[in-house]
Amino acid sequence: MMASYIIYNIVFIIIINEKSLYKRAKSIKKENNYLYSIGVIIFSKILMLFSSF
């Protein structure tokens, strides 16, 4: 119960930062950083999916 609450809070913080991550990914020309930012966004979506259960 407590673990799911902590995960939910982490996901909430990630969702708030998601837009800024995407903007940063667009502004950076380097391919690795762009892929990393997309990976973080996808990871936050997966976490959100798990926290809904």
Give residue-wise pLDDT tens across range 1-53: 677 777 777 777 777 776 676 666 666 655 566 677 777 778 878 877 777 65
Q: How far is CA 49 from CA 3, 8, 30, 45, in A?
A: 15, 10, 29, 6
Contact in structure between 51 and 8 (CB atoms under 8 Å): yes
* Domains: count for the chain: 1
pLDDT value at residue 45: 81
Rounded distance between C-alpha atoms, residue 37 and residue 53, angstroms: 26
Rounded distance between C-alpha atoms, residue 7 and residue 12, angstroms: 9
**Does the predicted TM-score (pTM) go above 0.75?**
no
By residue range, what is the domain housing residue 27?
A: 2-51
Contact in structure between 51 and 11 (CB atoms under 8 Å): yes
pLDDT value at residue 31: 56
pLDDT value at residue 48: 76
